[in-house]
Amino acid sequence: MGCYALLLLISAFSSLAVIHSAGPQQVHTWAFFIQMTWQTLCHLGLHYKEYYLQEAACIRLPIALSALMLMTQKVTSLALDIHENKVRVGLPSEERRSFCWHLLQALPLCTYLLCFPTLLGGPLCSFRRFQAWVRYSKAPFSSGLLWAATQKGLGALTLGLLNNIVRGYISALDDLIDCTHFDCVYVVWTSALCLRLTYYSHWLLDESLFLAAGLGLDLGHHQYSAAADRVVMDTDIWTLETTNTIAGFTRTWNKSTAQWLRRLIFQQSSSHPLLATFAFSAWWHGLRPGQVFGFLCWAVMVEADYRFHRFFGSVAKSRLQRLLYQTVTWCHTQLVVAYIMTAVEMRSVSMLWRLLSSYNSFFPLVSVTVLLLLVKK
């Protein structure tokens, strides 16, 4: 990352200062506010360079911002653990120790925040789980981890090759300008397919690195092997590609991040938790116009999906009806997800407007109509 590594170091050391100075009741609020403020300023710097100055940003800056987003996950997760008394940091104020002693106390937290395999892509693991791996690992590596890391690495390579092959046979997203009628639906769906393949290959590569670093050791009957501290891998391709519910796709997409958002926002919100979760997700991703529209649309689609399946799921009685119901809802889920993913990836307002004015908007409008009818009913 070159000089852009300073963005991460500033974030890590400011978070350590907050964690060691704020009390358990205030640490989460202060850590959240300071971390999100710093991340937002960094994102605004990138937007200023791209949109106002019309200059291409150095590739190192987006990489640093991606790592900073994952740093935010770890900082807020650790702060929540401290707030909930799952992790104890420091001593009562009346006990005074030397500066060197406090520095030694900060080293485990610093190691957790700056562990590079989890800053390159995840998945997110708790501080207690990370600490247990470091302390109680009998061997630095094992044949089981080697095989698992190799499998995921080969899977990432295979999906990367498949993605390159698929890209050679589909239309580019820029062709959305010249599309007529329902041709644009095919363009958006195939473009979203390539995006999903890219995400899948990156996640598998991240998990391969995570395991190769020894962070997937089975702790057996140790106290830190409880279900609450188990690491959730991000990739579940089968579920993502076969689910017929948008809500199921949402829970499975980037699993560790979905669970982090659920814990950080959804469970802490007293009103409209779903909308608050997706609004924060847009903020966390950088607040580009396509991201704001895409995530807010995603929230509406999930709410409509809940009501739709709750109402119509009991209507299909026979086997043929259930098969027809699952097929139609699977197709609708695929098309809506493709629409949302394409919107989120849009970098210009003009392209976003072309997407909104195309026939692809028909499928989200169906969900919105169903939602309004069911709410009224």
Please give the positions annotated as active site: 254, 285
Distance between terminal CA atoms of the chain?
Answer: 55
Task: Tell which residue, 76, 95, 100, 88, has the closest CA to residue 28.
Answer: 76
Rounded to a whole number of angstroms, the CA Rg of the chain reads 23
Q: Pick from 230, 236, 233: which is nearest to 252 by CA? A: 236
CA–CA distance from 251 to each of 116, 149, 227, 234, 332 (Å)?
A: 26, 24, 18, 11, 17
Helices (H), the chain: 5-21, 27-47, 60-83, 99-113, 116-119, 127-136, 143-167, 183-212, 237-242, 246-252, 255-264, 273-285, 289-312, 319-345, 349-356, 362-376
**What does DSSP assign to residue 214?**
T
Q: Which residues contact 82 (CB under 8 A, 6 or more apart)?
A: 19, 24, 27, 28, 88, 89
Question: In 3-state terms, what secondary structure has residue 216?
Answer: coil
- Judged on CB neighbours under 10 Å (0-12, 13-18, 19+), 141 is middle
Of 260, 343, 354, which is closest to residue 301 (Cα–Cα)? 343
Burial of 69 (0-12, 13-18, 19+ CB in 10 A): middle
Q: What angle, rounded to 10 degrees, do the helices at 5-21 and 60-83 form?
A: 10
Q: Determine the Cα–Cα distance for residues 175 and 180; give it in Å rounded to an integer.
A: 10
- Compute the distance between CA of residue 357 and CA of residue 188 in angstroms, rounded to an integer: 13
Contact (CB, 8 A) for 359 and 185: yes
